[in-house]
Copies of this chain bind each other. A is one copy, B any other.
């Protein structure tokens, strides 16, 4: 931490701050500047987060953090990229680009099995589908809940695809973990710390979506909640942030991909469906994500978007998804990623 003093403060005030720094277990180093003093506090601030309160001391103008506040998520602790096994034989973070696809919500056996078969044929390695849906309106479809999980299980049996599905209530973690291969935390729950802690105690990979207004630093702190409880299988997912622009549902923060790859060893996935909100924008954002260096994609696919219970306008039809995958494979190759088994629709 750097403690910046106000102009013309007394030596007593600088002393008091130095003593307080020392009493908190840090070593103060005073730099006498031209117009003000600056005090460096040497020590590992990440474990305690207490120096910020110095801002209330007399004579202090501001406290500037130097170290990043996360540890286990950082490249400093783990310099090499992590490879996370999502299911037997499905590893993200390595050479293979992992595409997860499926409908926003599970709606029926026919819908989910049909979609699972279609996305598998086109090259997807994981099936997505929501059973517990966090919806803005209490009057909107809230998901099929356990019934939906059972249908996902069925689709998995039919296709062999592992499934990723969202959990929204800490109470349901155990239930969802019984069915799911990968548990998803949605954007709205990125700082639902009770949920994160429970997932940290699980032996299943977690797909943690970035919140709409979460900075990258806060996002990695949320990952740290899971990691610090013992679960090291965390996959990050950029899904658009909230900005003033209304042409898209959110703004895909594509530069978050290289920023995250620089700061953390965790794999990074892009969700172009939620980011843009419009199906016709999804393919180009898939290509951009891969070109930017992401490890995977999660894409909404629905057999008949115009009748979807949720998020129809942002869902690709199976044929559109298959076309996208064919072109994606070529971009993936330039990005030095493999994308096996890509087929037509």
Flag whether A22 is at the interface (Cβ < 8 A): no
- Say yes or no: B42 contacts A32, CB within 8 Å: yes
User: What's the least CB distance linking A138 to chain B, in Å?
Assistant: 5
Query: What residues of B have a CB within 8 angstroms of the CB of A298 in the complex?
Result: none
Contact of A49 among B70, B137, B257, B276 (CB under 8 A): B137
Flag whether A99 is at the interface (Cβ < 8 A): no
Which DSSP category, helix, strand, loop or mixed, fits chain A's interface?
mixed
Flag whether A117 is at the interface (Cβ < 8 A): no
User: What's the least CB distance linking A171 to chain B, in Å?
Assistant: 6
**Interface set, chain A 43-63, CB cutoff 8 A to B:** 43-44, 46-50, 52-57
- Say yes or no: A255 contacts B252, CB within 8 Å: yes
Encode A111-151 as 1/0 by CB contact (under 8 A) with B: 00000000000000000000000111111110000000000
Query: What residues of B have a CB within 8 angstroms of the CB of A307 in the complex?
Result: 53
Q: How many Å lie between the Cα of A188 and that of B135 in the bound state?
A: 16
- Say yes or no: A53 contacts B313, CB within 8 Å: yes
Q: How many Å lie between the Cα of A284 and that of B197 in the bound state?
A: 34
Query: What residues of B have a CB within 8 angstroms of the CB of A254 in the complex?
Result: 252, 254, 285, 288
Q: How many Å lie between the Cα of A285 and that of B168 in the bound state?
A: 34
- Say yes or no: A313 contacts B52, CB within 8 Å: yes
Of all chain B residues, the one with the shortest Cβ separation from A70 is B137
- Say yes or no: A212 contacts B213, CB within 8 Å: yes
Of all chain B residues, the one with the shortest Cβ separation from A286 is B291
Contact of A139 among B47, B64, B244, B288 (CB under 8 A): B47
Of all chain B residues, the one with the shortest Cβ separation from A285 is B255
- Say yes or no: B243 contacts A259, CB within 8 Å: no
- Say yes or no: A171 contacts B168, CB within 8 Å: no
Of all chain B residues, the one with the shortest Cβ separation from A189 is B192
Query: What residues of B have a CB within 8 angstroms of the CB of A137 in the complex?
Result: 49, 69-70, 221, 224
A-B contact pairs, 22 of them (CB 8 A): A32-B42, A34-B44, A38-B66, A49-B141, A52-B312, A54-B306, A56-B305, A56-B315, A138-B228, A168-B192, A169-B170, A170-B171, A243-B251, A243-B253, A245-B253, A245-B256, A248-B255, A254-B288, A258-B280, A288-B291, A330-B334, A331-B334
Instruction: List 8 other contacts, CB 8 Å, given A49-B139, A217-B247.
Output: A4-B66, A7-B76, A31-B42, A139-B228, A168-B194, A169-B194, A284-B293, A331-B334
